[in-house]
Amino acid sequence: MTGQAAAKQTSASNANHVDVLIVGAGISGIGSAYHLQEQSPGKSYVILEMKESFGGTWETHKYPGVRSDSDLYTFGYRFKPWVGAPIASAEEILKYMGEVIDENGIAPHIRYGHRITRAAWDSNANLWTVDAVRASDGAEVSFTANFLWMCQGYYDHEKPYMPDWPGMNRYKGKLVHAQLWDPKIDYAGKKVLVIGSGATAATVIPAFAEKAAHVSMLQRSPTYFFCSENKNELADKLRAAKIDEPTIHRVVRAQIMHDQNVMTQRCIEEPDTVFEELKMLVRAFTGKEDFEFEPHFTPKYRPWQQRLAFCPEGDIFRAAASGKLTVYTDEIETFTETGVRTKGGDEIEADIIVAATGFNLLMMGGIPFFVDGQPVDWHETVNYRGMMFTGVPNMVWVMGYFRASWTLRVDMLGDFVCRLLNHMDAKGVKRVDVALRDEDRNMPLGDWIEGENFNPGYLMRGLKLMPKRGDKPEWRHNQDYWHEKDEIPFIDLDGSEFVYDGVRAGKRVTEAA
C-alpha cells in the first residue's frame, strides 16, 4: 500500500459520521436543516459550506443594489414570517437567514470553509464518504453519512459566464463581471456601461444611475419587466387590523401564489394581453403615456419563457425616462480603448463596463461523484421529480422553481426528505433508490427541460450537464409549484419507483438508460 493510499485509508477510518450530510449553507441548506431538526429530530447532521459564511447567492453577489427578484413573503421560509418590504436587499435577506440559524441552534452544525473534492457511495457499507479540504489549515478531512442532501445551488459561484468579445484586451477602462463586483469600486461621476438585460441588469442599473454621470445598457434582446410598488397592500391592511404576523405570512403567501399561478397561465394563454398590461404599469410609474417600447423593451419571446424580472417602483424605466439611462439593443462588434462599438455602428464610451451576462450552470457544485467506484455522469441518469436520480442511492437534490420562489420547493422537499427518512427507519432499511418501472421501459427520454417551457441562456448552455427527463410526471421537474404542492406531499413511498435495500415488492427493476 502506498503512503498516499494509507493516508487516505486512515482519513476515511477517522471520518466524522452523521446520519445526514447537507451540502451548502445557502437558502436551501439552512431551510433543509430546519426541517430535519423539526421533523426527524433524532438525526445527526452537519452542513458543509465552501464559503466562510452562510448565505450562498446572497453572500456571493456584492454589486450595487443587489436585491431579491422574488417577493420575500414566498421567498422567505414558510416557518418564519417576513415582516419587511416584499423586495429586499441582500443585507436584509442575510439578516433573516441569520435569525433562522440563531433561533434554531443551527450554527454548531455548520462547517465553514470546507471545499468538497469527492463524494463516493459504497453499497456494501450503505454509506457516503465525502472528502473535503479545510480552508483554515489546508487539511484533507472526510465525513461519512447515511444520506446526502445536496443544497449547493445550480451555478458556479466563482466563474461567471463572460463571453469572449473581440478586442477586450484593447479596453483601457475597468471591465468586471457583476458576480465578481468589488464594493470598493468607485463609480460616482463615471460613465458606466452594463452589458445584459436580465434581473441583474435590472437591479444594478438603477443603483448606478443614482451616482454615475451616465449609465448605458447594451442588450442583445430585451427582457420583460413587472413594475410594482415595493409593498403588499394585503399585508399592510392585515397589520392595520392587528392580525398576528404568522397569520399575515400564511395568508399573504397564499394570495401571492394564487396571483402568480393566474399570471403564469395568462402568459401562456394570452401573452399579448399580458404584455399590454405590463406596458401600462411602465407608463404609470414613469408618468409618460408616450413611453417608447420599440425596440428596446419589446422581447422576442412570450412572457415567462424566461424569467419575468420584478422592477420595484419601475426604477429602471424611470432612469430611462429621466435621461440617466441610454439603452442600446444590438451586438458588440468590438471593444475599443474607450468602450465598445456595436455592429450597428454606435460608439459607447464608458469608464467602467459591467458584464451582467449571467452565470455558468454547475451541476452538483462540480463535485466528482462515484457510486461503487464508478463515476456518475448526471446526463446519463433520469431525474425523479427533479430531486432524485436513477442509479444514485440515498441522495436528494434541491432544485427550486424559476417561475415561483425558489424557497417554496425548499420547504416542500424538506417535508419529503424527512418523510422518506422516517419511512426508511420504520421499514428498517438502510438504502433507497429510484428506478424506472416496467411501465416506463419504452418511455422517451429528453433534455432536462424543453426550450418552449423555459429557455434562459445559462440553462440552454448547460443542458448536457443535467439529467434526463421522461414524459411522465414522476420523471421530470415540471417547474409547476401549483401542481407539485398537491402531488409531492402525497407521493406513495412504497410506490414501485422506490427500491429499498435492493428490493422492490413484486417488481423487476428496469435499467435507467
pLDDT tens for 17-68 read 999 999 999 999 999 999 999 999 999 999 999 999 999 999 999 999 999 9
- H, E, C per residue of 91-142: HHHHHHHHHHHHHCCCHHHEECCEEEEEEEEECCCCEEEEEEEECCCCCEEE
Q: Which residue has the cell 441518469?
A: 381
Predicted pLDDT at 306:
67
Cis peptide before 295 (omega within 30 of 0): yes
Q: Tell whether the model's pLDDT for residue 5 goes beyond 70.
A: no
Handedness of CA 204, 205, 211, 215 (dihedral sign): positive
Q: Is 425 exposed, middle or buried (0-12, 13-18, 19+ CB in 10 A)?
A: middle
Can you tell me whether residue 476 is helix, strand or coil? coil
- H, E, C per residue of 396-434: EECCCCCCCCHHHHHHHHHHHHHHHHHHHHHHCCCCEEE
Q: pLDDT tens digit string along 426-435? A: 999 999 999 9
Predicted pLDDT at 290:
85
The rounded distance, in Å, linking the Cα atoms of 493 and 94 is 35
306 grid coordinates: 424566461
Rg of the chain in Å (alpha carbons): 24
Instruction: Give every CB contact of residue 130 below 8 A, 6+ residues apart in sequence.
Output: 21, 23, 48, 116, 118, 119, 120, 142, 143, 144, 145, 148
359 grid coordinates: 452565470
Contact of 439 with 418, CB cutoff 8 Å: no
- Mean pLDDT, residues 310-332: 92
Contact of 425 with 41, CB cutoff 8 Å: no
The rounded distance, in Å, linking the Cα atoms of 289 and 309 is 22
- Mean pLDDT, residues 315-325: 93
Helix extents (H) in 241-303: 245-269, 271-286
Q: pLDDT tens digit string along 443-488? A: 999 888 876 666 567 777 877 888 999 999 899 988 889 899 999 9
Q: Tell me, yes or no, if the pTM score tops 0.85.
A: yes
- Mean pLDDT, residues 61-78: 93
Q: Chain centroid to CA 38: how far?
A: 24
**CA of 436: how far to CAs of 111, 158, 390, 421, 488, in Å?**
36, 36, 8, 21, 18
The rounded distance, in Å, linking the Cα atoms of 143 and 490 is 33
511 band by pLDDT with thresholds 50, 70 and 90: very low
